[in-house]
């Protein structure tokens, strides 16, 4: 469509769901959220069309002319489809900075997102670094926790990252200040690899002095469901929390408030959904939040276990093998972009 080198599946998803400005206020129309995107795809498919037909002038006119589908092309959709030039400029800018964008139909898209989340998986992922890490067959440990942690919590998070690296596991985290970033640093310092799933500010983090070389060398991959120039918001952080858990084999909570905050929300959602087992740092005097998570079914893990590669490997194997994951999302709820 625009000669930008993007697959047509990515183009149409970007036009409908992508953002090309720092804030929504600067967009001519509000991009579709995942539910709206899926509903449009389903409606078109049920009448013999597909989202890709929106890239073809003749097929687009056929959709407009069909009484069963004409109403689907609302003014909002029509406006989003006119953003080809903005999309091409954004894609060129991202490429020049070393960023990539993939849609849910891409072979590089994390299969774990499709398995756990089905059609509620993000339509787009933006990132920097080696996409091979996203689907590499190796153990994965997610580390999450409050931004404000004490020295013991900081030491625990760093040790989890380092010990994960020593047993050949990939560290997955949110990249936020506190437990998340400390665990990533521990993994990288130990020669391991990590994936950070960011709630915004992808461009800022990828080009920072702290992580720029790690990204370029393939040791760290940064991804986000929000475009590289998007700013951090609390809503974005809450929206991406489930992705951290779903990309791992298990998750370890360093510190959580009770019944409040993103760490609590993400951990309880994961426990209830059964995506992966959740471990929680256990001490002689656990916080109310950590104890409450254990009471809800999270598995306690002590600093001594984390500090020993052998003990940690045993805990990892036991915890993951005893976990009963939910049934995979039915095929009808998987990605239907090309149907």
Per-residue three-class SS string for 102-121: EECCCCCCCHHHHHHHHHHC
CB atoms closer than 10 angstroms to residue 90:
22
pLDDT for 72: 97
Contacts by 203-210, CB closer than 8 A, 24 or more apart: 203/97, 203/99, 203/228, 203/229, 205/175, 206/97, 206/98, 206/99, 206/128, 206/129, 207/97
Same-domain status, 302 and 209? yes
Same-domain status, 282 and 162? yes
Q: How far is it, in rounded angstroms, from Cα 218 to Cα 55?
A: 34
Q: Is the CB of residue 194 less than 8 Å from the CB of residue 161?
A: yes
Q: Is residue 3 part of a domain?
A: no
Same-domain status, 202 and 310? yes
Same-domain status, 137 and 279? yes
Q: How far is it, in rounded angstroms, from Cα 67 to Cα 64?
A: 8
Q: Is residue 104 part of a domain?
A: no
Same-domain status, 175 and 290? yes
Same-domain status, 49 and 149? no
Same-domain status, 72 and 204? no
Q: Is the CB of residue 184 less than 8 Å from the CB of residue 164?
A: no
Q: Is the CB of residue 15 less than 8 Å from the CB of residue 7?
A: no
Q: Pick from 96, 117, 147: which residue ends a domain?
A: 96
Helix, strand, coil % over all residues of the chain, rounded to 5: 50, 10, 40
Residue-range definition of the domain harbouring residue 64: 8-96
Same-domain status, 91 and 134? no
Q: Is residue 102 part of a domain?
A: no
Phi and psi torsions of 62, nearest 5°? -65, -40
pLDDT for 5: 82
Q: Is the CB of residue 134 less than 8 Å from the CB of residue 221?
A: yes
Q: Is residue 82 part of a domain?
A: yes
pLDDT for 328: 57
Same-domain status, 80 and 202? no
Q: Is residue 112 part of a domain?
A: no
Q: Is residue 338 part of a domain?
A: no
Same-domain status, 209 and 266? yes
Q: Facing residues of 127 across strands?
A: 100, 223
Burial group, residue 67, by CB count within 10 angstroms (0-12, 13-18, 19+): exposed
Q: How far is it, in rounded angstroms, from Cα 145 to Cα 253?
A: 5
Q: The domain spanning residue 263 has which CATH number?
A: 3.40.50.450
Burial group, residue 105, by CB count within 10 angstroms (0-12, 13-18, 19+): middle
Same-domain status, 267 and 135? yes
DSSP for 234-293, written as a single string: HHHHHHHHHHHHHTSSEEEES---SS-HHHHHHHHHHHHHTSS-EEEE--SS--HHHHHH
Q: Going residue by residue through the chain, which has 339 residues, state the pLDDT in tens, using 9 for 90 and above.
A: 444 689 999 999 999 999 887 666 677 899 999 999 999 999 999 999 999 999 999 999 999 999 999 999 999 999 999 999 999 999 999 999 999 999 999 999 999 999 999 999 999 999 999 999 999 999 999 999 988 889 999 999 999 999 999 999 999 999 888 999 999 999 999 999 999 999 989 999 999 988 999 999 999 999 999 999 888 888 888 889 999 999 999 999 999 999 999 999 999 999 999 999 999 999 998 899 999 999 999 999 999 999 999 999 999 999 999 887 766 554 334 444 433
Q: Is residue 109 part of a domain?
A: no
Q: How far is it, in rounded angstroms, from Cα 339 to Cα 337?
A: 6
Q: Is residue 327 part of a domain?
A: no
**Core vs surface per residue 311-329: b (16+ CB within 10 A) or e:** ebbebbeebbeeeeeeeeb
Same-domain status, 54 and 185? no
| Total number of domains constituting the chain | 2
């Amino acid at each position: 469509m625009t000669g930008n080198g993007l697959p047509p599946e990515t183009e149409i998803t970007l036009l409908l769901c992508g953002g090309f400005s720092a804030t929504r206020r600067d967009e001519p129309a509000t991009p579709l959220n995942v539910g709206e995107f899926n509903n449009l795809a389903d409606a078109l498919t049920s009448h013999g069309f597909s989202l890709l037909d929106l890239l073809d002038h003749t097929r687009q006119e056929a959709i407009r002319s069909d009484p069963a589908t004409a109403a689907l092309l609302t003014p909002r959709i029509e406006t989003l489809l006119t953003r080809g030039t903005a999309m091409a400029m954004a894609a060129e800018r991202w490429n020049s900075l070393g960023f990539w964008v993939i849609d849910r139909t891409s072979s590089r898209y994390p299969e774990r997102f499709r398995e756990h989340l089905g059609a509620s998986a993000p339509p787009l992922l933006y990132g920097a670094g080696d996409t091979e890490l996203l689907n590499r067959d190796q153990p994965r440990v997610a580390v999450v926790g409050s931004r404000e942690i004490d020295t013991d919590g900081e030491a625990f998070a760093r040790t989890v990252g380092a010990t994960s690296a020593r047993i050949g596991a990939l560290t997955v985290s949110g990249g936020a200040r506190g437990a998340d970033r400390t665990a990533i640093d521990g993994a990288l310092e130990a020669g391991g690899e990590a994936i950070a799933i960011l709630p915004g500010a992808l461009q800022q983090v990828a080009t920072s002095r702290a992580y720029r070389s790690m990204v370029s060398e393939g040791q760290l991959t940064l991804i986000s469901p929000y475009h590289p120039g998007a700013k951090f918001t609390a809503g974005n952080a809450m929206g991406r929390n489930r992705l951290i858990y779903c990309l791992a084999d298990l998750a370890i909570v360093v510190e959580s408030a009770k019944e409040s905050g993103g760490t609590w929300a993400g951990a309880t959602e994961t426990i209830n959904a059964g995506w992966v087992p959740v471990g929680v740092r256990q001490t002689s005097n656990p916080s109310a939040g950590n104890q409450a998570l254990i009471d809800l079914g999270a598995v306690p893990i002590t600093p001594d276990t984390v500090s020993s590669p052998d003990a940690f490997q045993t805990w990892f194997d036991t915890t993951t093998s005893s976990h009963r994951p939910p049934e995979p999302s039915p095929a009808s709820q998987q990605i239907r972009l090309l149907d």
